[in-house]
Structure 1
């Protein structure tokens, strides 16, 4: 694994910091970085099952960034550690993007062992940001009402699984958790349409701001 990587310019560095900061507010854990063909793909987990009986869908965020030099690596690192290093790089020279030292890798990250397909996606039409925002805000409100302060973690996770597993109205293949991810990561913007793709048990929401990837249960009716 290389000791460091560098993005092609300072705006890319700022975008990566913003993306990881938003993801960390939802799930303060790890980020999977895959570098290939001059591109850095940064995967973050927004939702994922915490056990065999947990029906929470696996929902990942994805942003891609051009690298200053072609590299090949696949590493899972702590989000906070990477953010600290990105922030230090940004403070040293505000006009450029410097080399970022990779933190030590972490192990036993269940969602990071799931690799979304890179090809074979089939277009399933588009939806609009308003539809996804409505589903996300409705889910957030329902969970807040159903889970009072002091509720045990198991009950909280059960409520989240139930709410975020439901399909968005008019989008049978898109769980509400995908709408929550798109909103939380800042991938929804005004009147821009959001494209929907599928391959196998995976669904992808794509806008100019990023991608949300959802893995459905292989035994589901759509699997």
Structure 2
């Protein structure tokens, strides 16, 4: 099949992917998504927080995997807005009548986090955190940022506050960066009554649930 389109498994997969893109877009309307497919799985990465310095410390990226009805090989980064426009259209069956066609935007995007390659293996388990705890961390951070970013707050002050709030370790057991809890909450990865597992590999930390992963550098 061509690189210009992918075939998702079914209409539910299409709807779930559209919801993921919409959530990512609500965080950064001018953001981008990296799409990687090798075989029958599409890995979709979205940047939540940009990192700092040459090593990109503090980078937070959301990752969601979607099953493809037809194998494909793709690796491109596209604007969320362009991808969202295509997903807003009615679902169209794949070329052979199976699956649902996802037309890819013809334009590319650039994002510093997209150049980073989180490890795919070698992760060491750290512990488990409940959805209720992660939700509390996310909501507390959102409230703190909202209270500290009034109409008179300048852009540098807002940026500094967000970095401090989302870059610090939350008082969870095990400890997790607050920005990871926010990303999991905002991207819809937290299952009510469920839990997420925390793992580490080198400079990376991964917060995972059945709905998706959050990668922190």
TM-score, normalised on structure 1? 0.87
Alignment of 1:143-222 (within 5 A): 143-171=145-173, 173-215=175-217
Single out whichever of 112-121 and 145-154 deviates more from structure 2: 145-154
Please state how far the C-alpha of 1:96 moved relative to its aligned partner: 7.3
Looking at structure 1, the residues matched to 152 and 70 of structure 2 have their Cα atoms a distance apart, in angstroms, of 49
Alignment of 1:54-203 (within 5 A): 57-90=58-91, 97-171=99-173, 173-203=175-205
For 2:13, the equivalent position in structure 1 comes to 12
Looking at structure 2, the residues matched to 78 and 171 of structure 1 have their Cα atoms a distance apart, in angstroms, of 36
Give secondary structure in 1 for the equivalent of 2:70: coil
Looking at structure 1, the residues matched to 99 and 11 of structure 2 have their Cα atoms a distance apart, in angstroms, of 4
Give secondary structure in 2 for the equivalent of 1:170: coil
Q: After superposition, what is the alpha-carbon deviation per residue over 1:150-182, rounded to whole angstroms, capped at 9, x for unaligned?
A: 422221111000000111113465210000001
Residues 44, 62 of structure 1: 8 Å contact kept? yes
Runs of 4+ in 1 over 4 A off after TM superposition: none
Please state how far the C-alpha of 1:208 moved relative to its aligned partner: 1.0
Give secondary structure in 2 for the equivalent of 1:211: strand
Looking at structure 1, the residues matched to 83 and 136 of structure 2 have their Cα atoms a distance apart, in angstroms, of 32
Question: RMSD value over aligned CA atoms?
Answer: 2.1
Looking at structure 2, the residues matched to 60 and 176 of structure 1 have their Cα atoms a distance apart, in angstroms, of 13
Looking at structure 2, the residues matched to 14 and 189 of structure 1 have their Cα atoms a distance apart, in angstroms, of 18
C-alpha spacing 1:10/1:4, structure 2 compared with 1 (3 Å): same
Question: Could you list the runs of 5+ residues in structure 2 that have no partner in the other structure?
Answer: none
Looking at structure 2, the residues matched to 185 and 141 of structure 1 have their Cα atoms a distance apart, in angstroms, of 18
TM-score, normalised on structure 2? 0.90
